[in-house]
Amino acid sequence: MPTIGVNRDDLFKCLGETYTEEGFDELCFQYGIELDEVTSEKEQIEKEQGESKAVGASDAVIYKIDIPANRYDLLCMEGLVQALKVFLKKEPAPNYRCVAPINGVKQQINVTPSTQQIRPFCVGAVLRNITFTKEGYESFIDLQDKLHHNIGRRRTLVSIGTHDLDTITGPFTYDAQTPADIKFVSLNQTKEHTAVELMELYSKDSHLRAFLPIIQDSPVYPIIRDSKGVVLSMPPIINGDHSKIKLTTKNVLVEITATDLTKAKVALDTIVTMFSCHCEDKFAVEPVDIVCHDGTVMETPSLSYRQESVTAGNLNSKIGVDLKAEEIAELLTKMCLRSEVTNVEKGEILVTIPPTRSDVIHACDIVEDCAIALGFDNIVQTFPRSVTVGGQQLSMKMSERLRPELAGAGFTEVLTFSLCSSDDVGKKMRQVGKEMENLAVQISNPATLEFQVVRTSLLPGLLKTVASNRKMPLPIKIFEIQEVVLKDNSRETGARNERRIGAVCYNKLPGFEVIHGLLDRIMQILEVKWESNNPEYKGKGYCIKSAEDPSYFPGRCAEIYVRGKVVGKLGVLHPEVISNFDLVCPASALEINLESFYMS
Amino acid sequence: MNGDSLQECVLKQIGKYEAVDSNVLAAALEVDHQAIVGAIKSIQCFGDVIKVEPRNNKKWCVTDEGKLVIKNGSYEYNIYQAVPTEGILQSELLQKVSNAKIGFSKAMSNKMIKVDKKCEGGARVFRNQEDLKDETWSNLVALQNGNVGQVGEKVLAELKKRKLAQEVVNKSFFVEKGEAFTLKLEKPETDLTAQMIQDGSWKTKTFKEYNYNALGAPPAAGHLHPLMKVRSAYRQIFLEMGFTEMPTNSFVESSFWNFDALFQPQQHPARDAHDTFFINDPAISTKFPQEYLERVKTVHSKGGFGSQGYRYDWKIDEAQKNVLRTHTTAVSARMLYNLAQQKEFKPVKYFSIDRVFRNETLDATHLAEFQQVEGVVADRSVTLGDLMGVLHEFFRKLGVHQLRFKPAYNPYTEPSMEVFGYHSGLKKWVEIGNSGVFRPEMLRPMGLPEDVNVIAWGLSLERPTMIKLGIDNIRDLVGHKVDLQMVYDSPICQMDF
């Protein structure tokens, strides 16, 4: 969730009202944003860089406000103030317009075919006769940063360049050239560099370094020039120094290059709608013609007002209220969605979605805005009338019944992680090249060694738990009923979960009889008879038969047969396994696949 | 004399005196004081037979050397006596009496004698005064007779320094009759035995008192993990409310079901490697319901069902990528798809509590895996008011009685609400879950009828449990590093806030 910092006093001045912190917090809560932190420039510097660096910094109060990820129109002071003023019915939502220049000649950006192999889309607009205050200028730069990060996905999808139009001459060309052919003075540099040199230069820049890989390996780099060959920018890395905007800039050219046209248009609409309030002709934007690589001409920004027709009945039935069409229209208008009732009888409402509300893509978004404007507290709470019968998964039903029984048998339940290192299920368990290692699902982007694979056995987690609890009095008897994951080609995803019981007894002596006793108890409560007791049960009950497994001490391991099928193993763990998990005493262990007990 | 009879003798004496010092008892019974102390201690085990008060008596005694002085006179006086009126050669004098050196220097410092070193034949010793008495001797005699008062503090210190007298601490006990004084002792039984019940002897026996201030013996048992106890409590609530458990036994999920089916766009940050665990092996899933997949593709890339869509180039490769599911909503999506394939729509209420995985930055409250609680209700004309109502019932059963709802954003629900509960212990509103109405772009491609709404909510199992148990670090609750003692000691976890 993005966070913006705004000066409290400026905010209240713009809103025309002063709030207490609690009062503003409540307003945020109602609107669906969140007053996250109250701080100041000084406090922030102190926190991040130490007190000495904060000397002289401003201690004006800053509100840090969390903004929902789909509300790009709230990412700057201008947009936030506009939205809240309309919400508080202090003023109507503005009407954003595209106005062609007086002489009728629009600025033009020509897109060359070579851009299609690297960053195919470009859009643009002009903000005429703008007046920046210091705060407005900073906000303008900041919004670009926020958009780069959010909708632009760290400039991969969208990157924005803004230029002092009076320093350059159209028409402009959006081209893609080999890095060696690009040479210009980049922002805040004094001498010319080739693109190759720039990539080298910015590889040491803590901020820009992150964006280099977006174009680094491409044979051509995107480049925008004016009619005289002056470089405006090399998207998505850096602007040229020549056309940089200043506090005194009067006319701004906005160019946006992108790999996603929809997002480029949204970003452009957002920037120009937010800052057209500082233009002489308020809320008016001068369009730019984009001559696409195939010769088609597209005018941007679209600043389109989309209309959607909804009915009061539908909205009421979604929210669970009984509002009149006029009431709904009024509520929606508070959310910048200008609405009018077109048919009182049928409750038809025509909703106009402004270019600032790119998040409204379906009637359900209008439903939400209506509910927010009404206030969630004003919605009568009801209980769904749906008549249903509850039910459990058999696997969970069985687990829930077994867990107290195992605890009753003296074993303590632990809860360990599903993710572990490859070694945990391989080398440490002496299972290298065996099923336990080979069937493990491999994670491609583990942050640490702890998340390399999904466990194929419950035993490593149990042994790690014992290792962390060596201070506890012996014996340590623990169990876990959870799922392991095994690769399985027959499944849709290529893997399946398997529910198991794992148990470990750690003591001065191996205690095979203790683990064996636990097995007998589990079988007893699952009503599986011991075969050796009675030949009549042969193949119908359970028995254990000597087996070899690298994790267990030779001659101290048995397979568990239930109704003639192997369901697991028990035995005394191999001394090397004990040492591999940093343990010192012998241990016996048991692991049973539970699935055959509830799936028939 | 055996122990028992000594106890009885002691009791008789106490009976006679009412109150007496153990030293007196030792003297009266002519027994070593230690034996008397032993007898007193053993009588005390029988309860309030006697009252005992320890006493410390300090007493001045004459040492063995002091006794010799009493017998033979002090060394300095012996020297004084040995000096004739006309004097005597020093060398001669020192041979005349025993302990002469000590005696000589003492007599000198007391100015009883004097030495003339210039005399003919060597130094001669003369009496300094006539008719002196042996003061040391008479002080020691006074001490021996118990008349400490006659001897000054300074003298006592001097005698102690000369090791002629010493102060000894005499530990004794002052004994009185107790409430249950008796001349005949009967030992109380430690506990009732089968034998006593059978032969009826319990009727006449006395029993040792229990110490109710001690803890009992801990029961020998295993214990359930607190988080799993909380899981059981949540399951119980869902079942009470008529919800059916979803099959969540699939940690590996395709991006299609985990994201695309939920109308989560392919460039959404949650689908970043920074947030999601992708899988190398098995890397992709390829079997999808084909018609449904096409509808999902269309609603993302072009819109439909009343939606503008996200208008981007939807790629099958992205949908095929296997991930560790980031939410159990992936399972809800499959369940709702299956529901839509039935001939006739029937309302359902589903729930699940199971593991989900996030490749997030780890800190005190974030792990790579956690337990997600999810509830879903699908029916014709279910409303936002219903969602708030069902959440109220759900959290009321968990002991949270005050709820607030904050508008929020979630890619697959609209409206979306964050749920806040008032925690009366912490005296503040805490975020306890997320909720919303599933978007039509998610439901309609599945084939659910237009008037079917689906409300859902989710929360983590760990967070309320940590608040309940007062645990700050999630690693103290789950994983292999937890202290087993915490598991042993954890309460039954009634979740009442």
- Contact criterion met (CB < 8 Å) for B417 and A392: no
The DSSP 8-state label assigned to residue B366 in this structure reads: B
- Provide the token pair at B24: 């007196």
- Contact criterion met (CB < 8 Å) for B488 and A412: yes
A28 in Cβ contact with A64 (< 8 Å):
no
Selecting from B253, B283, B440 the residue whose C-beta is nearest the C-beta of A362 gives B440
Strand ranges, E, within B289-347? 322-324
Q: If you search the block for the tokens 């006539």, which residue do you land on?
A: B130
pLDDT at site B357: 95
pLDDT at site A465: 97
pLDDT at site B176: 85
pLDDT at site A236: 93
Q: Which is it for strands A284-291 and A107-111: parallel, antiparallel or unpaired?
A: parallel
Q: What angle do CA B322, B328, B334 make, to 5 degrees?
A: 75
Tell me how close the Cα of A199 comes to any Cα of chain B, in angstroms: 25
Chain B positions in Cβ-Cβ contact with residue A318 (cut-off 8 Å):
383-384, 437, 453
What does the radius of gyration of chain A's CA atoms come to, in whole angstroms? 34
Other CB atoms within 10 Å distance of the CB of residue A346:
12
Nearest alpha carbon to residue A239 among A186, A173, A177, A178 = A186
User: What residues contact B363, with CB distance under 8 A and at least 6 apart?
Assistant: none
pTM of this structure = 0.80
- Contact criterion met (CB < 8 Å) for B349 and A390: yes
A462 in Cβ contact with A589 (< 8 Å):
yes
The DSSP 8-state label assigned to residue B180 in this structure reads: T
Full strand arrangement of the beta sheet holding B113-116: B88-89, B124-127, B113-116
Query: What is the C-alpha to C-alpha distance for residues A135 and A77, in angstroms, rounded to an integer?
Result: 9
Q: Which of left, alpha, beta for B483 (phi over 0: left; psi -120 to 50: alpha)?
A: beta
- Contact criterion met (CB < 8 Å) for B415 and A485: no
The gap from C-alpha A239 to its chain's centroid, in whole angstroms, comes to 29
pLDDT at site A537: 82
User: What residues contact B70, with CB distance under 8 A and at least 6 apart?
Assistant: B62, B137, B140, B141, B144
Which run of H or of E encompasses B160? helix B153-161
- Provide the token pair at B416: 């979306």
- Contact criterion met (CB < 8 Å) for B285 and A492: yes
pLDDT at site B186: 73
Q: If you search the block for the tokens 């205050």, which residue do you land on?
A: A133
Nearest alpha carbon to residue A135 among A46, A51, A41 = A41
- Contact criterion met (CB < 8 Å) for B480 and A377: no
CB proximity under 8 Å: A 241-280 to B = 260-263
Chain B positions in Cβ-Cβ contact with residue A442 (cut-off 8 Å):
279-281
Query: What is the C-alpha to C-alpha distance for residues A423 and B268, in angstroms, rounded to an integer?
Result: 33
Which run of H or of E encompasses A82? helix A77-87
Q: At residue B257, what is the residue type?
A: W
DSSP of A275-298, one letter per residue? HGGGBSSTTEEEEEEEE-TTS-EE
Buried b (16+ CB within 10 A) or exposed e, A483-505: bbbbbbeebbbbbbbbbbbbbbb
Q: Which residues of chain B have pLDDT under 50?
A: 1, 3, 497
Chain A positions in Cβ-Cβ contact with residue B245 (cut-off 8 Å):
391-393, 396
The answer to whether A500 contacts chain B (CB < 8 Å) is no
- Contact criterion met (CB < 8 Å) for A410 and B221: yes
B207: phi then psi, degrees, rounded to nearest 5: -120, 140
B136 in Cβ contact with B69 (< 8 Å):
yes
Q: At residue A290, what is the residue type?
A: I
pLDDT by residue for chain A (600 residues), tens only, comes to 889 999 999 999 999 999 999 999 999 999 989 999 999 888 888 888 878 877 888 888 999 999 998 899 999 999 999 999 999 999 999 999 999 988 889 999 999 999 999 999 999 999 999 999 999 999 999 999 999 999 999 999 999 999 999 999 989 999 999 999 999 999 999 999 999 999 999 999 999 999 999 999 999 999 999 999 999 999 999 999 999 999 999 999 999 999 999 999 999 999 999 999 999 999 999 999 999 999 999 999 999 999 999 999 999 999 999 999 999 999 999 999 999 999 999 999 999 999 999 999 999 999 999 999 999 999 999 999 888 999 999 999 999 999 999 999 999 999 999 999 999 999 999 999 998 999 999 999 988 889 999 999 999 999 999 999 999 999 999 999 999 999 999 999 999 999 999 999 999 999 999 999 999 999 999 999 998 867 788 888 999 999 999 999 999 999 999 999 999 999 999 999 999 999 999 999 999 999 999 875
pLDDT at site B87: 82
pLDDT at site B371: 95
Which run of H or of E encompasses B379? strand B369-380
What does the radius of gyration of chain B's CA atoms come to, in whole angstroms? 49
pLDDT at site A524: 94
Name B304's bridge partners: B307
